[in-house]
Structure 1
Amino acid sequence: MLKQNLQQKLLQKLSPQQIQFIKLLQVPTVSLDTRIKEELEENPALEDISLTNINEPEELYPDRDPDEDKFNADEERGEMDEFNIDDYLQEDNVNDYGSRYDQNGEDEDERKEIPIAVQSSFFESLQSQLDLLPVSDKDFAIGKQIIGSLDDDGYLRRPIMNITDDLAFSQNVMAEDEEVEDMLKVIQSFDPPGVGARSLQECLLIQLRKKDVNDPIVKKAIIIVEDYLDEFTRKHYDKLERVLNMNSIELRGVVAEILKLNPKPGDSNEVSTKQMQVIPDFHISNNDGMLILTLNSKNAPELKVSRSYQEMFQHYDKASQKDKKLKEAVQFVKQKLDSAKWFIDAIKQRQQTLLKTMNAIMQYQYDFFLTGDDKNLKPMILKDIADRIGMDISTVSRVANSKYVQTEHGTFLLKSFFSEAIQTESGEEVSNKEVKKILEEHIGQEDKRHPLADEKLTDILKDAGYNIARRTVAKYREQMNIPVARLRKEL
């Protein structure tokens, strides 16, 4: 049986301005410029001061009265009382931002973009090698299809049978699986060595067979990769010495030969484009023991609300006759002005929040920023900073997860300054960063022929006064991307 009833509920909803601010807050500086350009393209009422001439020449407007640029909302309010012109017809500099945040003293030459060297991509390089081969049109089409099927790391993970189907359906090229296999072998002869492999084993074998196969070390390396790859990856060196009848010195040379090979040939030409460009959001300088925080606004252009849209809105509002089309025009202009004003306010609020949060982090970790010593990092969680600045933990999290600070000791992700507290035997609370630093030092100094197991590392920490469990040591080791002792073993 269906029933209807009324209910009253109290719900929290974010306003469009709040949503826009949240999205902008989590955008790092490296992406902010793109986000602003998107907004400039979508909203004609928003202008970039650096791209426009703010001081218009007088000769362009010989009949303009300078006093007309100052609008009095009380005298010029029209019949449409639902619009408040006063919010939009202010001086340009009220809605500007940017220059007062640029505290780094960069001149115009320093603000120019760094030129990037042009280089051919991985796939373009393969295609150019294919273009030089004296092959038939059919083989050329097969080769092109194979190159297009490669993954970014240079491997061919699409089955040969599927590539044959792709050729038939998409290019109307009828080929046999054997023809595709033959052409794949041709592609595998291209540079970089190992390209077109269908597995790690095949990738390494392709590279080894391009070397001097009469070299005893290369011969044994081929045997290991072909028949004992699993034992090699698991570092079961004792078994390899027995099976191949080699001593540790000979095996060390073979292992070194295999380690020279590139397991991801496709990445070799893409390094520069795949690496994330880190642009610090903050700069901390040390002025005779006093830390100075500045906000990097290099990629944030100076924005303002368009004067032409302001004048357009005033013109529409002063019109004596307001038909439906004119009202729609007024509504459109008002919406664009609103959007521009909200975006500028969100950018301002973003930068103020970033400065407030980073300043609290700097004050909390003052000793670390002075010395750069990880042992001076205090235990600090998101709530510590949120309480200091009077903001929500989620706000601090959005700032910390994607922002970088440049110091004289290096560039750091803000998230790296947050850590849990560990109590020593003396009752003192220290950051788990300190424990990780000790682990890293001992693992770096260990005898690689007999690396330290987690149990031994736990004992070392207990002797140093850090009473933590073995599973915690394993967790910290994994967080630092350090493999287990067996995989750290070297000959």
Structure 2
Amino acid sequence: MLKQNLQQKLLQKLSPQQIQFIKLLQVPTVSLDTRIKEELEENPALEDISLADMNEPVEEYPDKDPDDDFKSEDREENNDEFNVDDYLQDDNINDYGSKYDNNDDDDDKKELPYAVTNTFFENLQAQLDLVDLDDKNYLIAQQIIGSLDDDGYLRRAIPSLIDDLAFSQNVFAEEEEIEEMLKVIQAFDPAGIGARDLQECLLIQLRKKDTSNPFIEKAISVVEDHLDEFTKKHYDKLEKSLNVDSEGLKDIVNEILKLNPKPGDSGASNVKQMQVIPDFHISKNEDVLTLTLNSKNAPELRVSKSYQEMFQHYEKTSEKDKKLKEAVQFVKQKLDSAKWFIDAIKQRQQTLLKTMNAIMNYQYEFFLSDGDERNLRPMILKDIADRIGMDISTVSRVANSKYVQTEFGTFLLKSFFSEAIQTDSGEEVSNKEVKMILEECIGKEDKIRPLADEKLTEILKEKGYNIARRTVAKYREQLGIPVARLRKEL
């Protein structure tokens, strides 16, 4: 049965401009330049002033007047000669597009010398080539090397390797043959390579050492028979099992601690680190703080004059056929898109400065004291959102992806936010201050008898911080500090 109902709904929808602003706001400075270049490539009506001045076209015919194409008289005479089809077929026929693509700073690029090193797997292959093997064993060994993970472990089961060899190499191998070739690879450098678990990895390394050394012999016994007690630091049980005193156990443990649990990492060449470009700079002159925005956040963009003139010319044309209307619509769309993007960039700059200025003023004493966390006030997203009259989600987008450079280091804005802890005197302090004191207490503790969470709670209460033991445990875990038993040293 069909029915008709009249309903009234109140919906909140973001406009395309708002969506574009939100996306730009959460882009960090290191990625903003790439995002702007993408927009410049997609929209020929958008220009970068610095690039537009640098990339003036070189005329092939010097005798030609460069202003001829822009004289109004010539434009009026050539109106009938302008072919809209040609324009619609190639969106990139414009001064900017041809100049930008041809001058992508290729002339300024310099080749920098860099170290050429073999990868982890290339080193193993080089060692394999030195071993005298027949074709079948060589292929088996190659398959094993290719099955190692980045840590140097063989996580793949032997039956699976047999199947891999049969399907990929047409080699039919027995389990004993795989085991034999695995032992060959486990003899390669770095020591511990080709192990199937941590225990086997440590044993391979220990057995390559001087086993006549009594400490090495005892270390092998620990790894082979008492690895669980060792990892959990039950040193008293180990002393009884090995029949050694604390000093002897200390030497044995030191031998084990020298081993590499991830031998594959030793072959890694270049470790990529995330590049951080600060979005803000805070400088201090006596008791006055000055906030500046990174210049990369303020690109000099403008709407293309040639596109504006083109649109005005189309609008004044009396006769408008279908193709001309399509051309007018295309140009208008590109012009609007360029204006929206420029407005979004400007709004981004204003929001960044407004938010960071509020954070700086809220934490003024912290920045003046060169980052003394005791002066860090408790601050949540709502505190800043209320000050700048914006939504909490906007402040969150800024705080989670932006960095500020100060005279005492570069920090993520999120690190300035913290919860409040009330002291015995009724004063509210940042939980970061409590974490700092907690870290100091653990750093100064006797490692033979490390402080348990209950004892740390008592110390904090003596200092005026009345917090529960479970809160102390939470803060300790956030600091990446293990429990007392695992901090114990001999």
Q: TM-score, normalised by structure 1?
A: 0.81
Partner of 1:417: 416
The structure-2 alpha-carbon separation of the partners of 1:456 and 1:161, relative to structure 1 and needing over 3 Å to count, comes to same
Partner of 2:21: 21
Matched residues, percent identical? Answer: 78
Distance 1:49 1:115 in 2: 33
Partner of 1:429: 428
- Give the partner amino acid of 2:443: G
Alpha-carbon contact 1:204-1:263 (below 8 Å) kept:
yes
> Which runs of structure 2 are paired with 1:179-218 in the superposition (5 Å)?
179-218=177-216
Alpha-carbon contact 1:32-1:300 (below 8 Å) kept:
no
> Which runs of structure 2 are paired with 1:51-450 in the superposition (5 Å)?
51=51, 53-54=54-55, 62-64=65-67, 68=71, 119-130=117-128, 133-270=131-268, 272-298=270-296, 302-306=300-304, 313=311, 322-371=320-369, 372-450=371-449
Distance 1:212 1:373 in 2: 50
Superposed CA offset, 1:367-405 (max 9, x none): 111212110101111111111111111111111112222
Distance 1:313 1:184 in 2: 72
| Deviation of 1:68 (Å) | 5.0
Superposed CA offset, 1:55-93 (max 9, x none): 557859615269759xxxxxx9xxxxxxxxxxxxxxx9x
| Deviation of 1:237 (Å) | 0.5
Distance 1:134 1:25 in 2: 61
Alpha-carbon contact 1:30-1:299 (below 8 Å) kept:
no
The structure-2 alpha-carbon separation of the partners of 1:354 and 1:299, relative to structure 1 and needing over 3 Å to count, comes to closer
| Deviation of 1:10 (Å) | 1.4
The structure-2 alpha-carbon separation of the partners of 1:226 and 1:381, relative to structure 1 and needing over 3 Å to count, comes to same
The structure-2 alpha-carbon separation of the partners of 1:415 and 1:322, relative to structure 1 and needing over 3 Å to count, comes to same
Q: How many residues align?
A: 455
- Give the partner amino acid of 1:217: F
SS in 2 for 1:169: helix
| Deviation of 1:465 (Å) | 0.9
Alpha-carbon contact 2:45-2:303 (below 8 Å) kept:
yes
Partner of 1:35: 35
The structure-2 alpha-carbon separation of the partners of 1:344 and 1:480, relative to structure 1 and needing over 3 Å to count, comes to same
Note the residue ranges of structure 1 that are not aligned, 5 or more in a row: 70-75, 77-91, 93-108
SS in 1 for 2:271: helix
Alpha-carbon contact 2:203-2:223 (below 8 Å) kept:
yes
Alpha-carbon contact 2:279-2:297 (below 8 Å) kept:
no
Superposed CA offset, 1:25-74 (max 9, x none): 222223334434444454454455555525557859615269759xxxxx
Partner of 1:97: none
Structure with the larger RCO, 1 or 2 (CA within 8 Å, 6+ apart): 1
| Deviation of 1:347 (Å) | 2.9
SS in 2 for 1:412: strand
Distance 1:60 1:123 in 2: 62
Partner of 2:105: none
The structure-2 alpha-carbon separation of the partners of 1:154 and 1:358, relative to structure 1 and needing over 3 Å to count, comes to farther
Distance 1:311 1:154 in 2: 64
The structure-2 alpha-carbon separation of the partners of 1:49 and 1:259, relative to structure 1 and needing over 3 Å to count, comes to farther
Distance 2:40 2:288 in 1: 39
Alpha-carbon contact 1:194-1:204 (below 8 Å) kept:
yes
The structure-2 alpha-carbon separation of the partners of 1:42 and 1:133, relative to structure 1 and needing over 3 Å to count, comes to farther
Partner of 1:79: none
Distance 2:133 2:50 in 1: 54
SS in 2 for 1:293: strand
SS in 2 for 1:405: strand
| Deviation of 1:282 (Å) | 2.0
Alpha-carbon contact 2:297-2:349 (below 8 Å) kept:
no
Distance 1:243 1:159 in 2: 33
| More off after superposition, 139-148 vs 352-361 | 139-148
The structure-2 alpha-carbon separation of the partners of 1:166 and 1:368, relative to structure 1 and needing over 3 Å to count, comes to same
The structure-2 alpha-carbon separation of the partners of 1:67 and 1:194, relative to structure 1 and needing over 3 Å to count, comes to same
Partner of 2:8: 8
| Deviation of 1:438 (Å) | 0.7
SS in 1 for 2:259: coil
Alpha-carbon contact 2:33-2:296 (below 8 Å) kept:
no
Distance 2:431 2:168 in 1: 57
> Which runs of structure 2 are paired with 1:457-468 in the superposition (5 Å)?
457-468=456-467
Q: TM-score, normalised by structure 2?
A: 0.81
| Deviation of 1:333 (Å) | 4.2
Distance 2:297 2:208 in 1: 47
Superposed CA offset, 1:406-425 (max 9, x none): 22222222111111111111
Note the residue ranges of structure 2 that are not aligned, 5 or more in a row: 73-78, 80-95, 97-107
- Give the partner amino acid of 2:448: R
Distance 1:137 1:321 in 2: 80
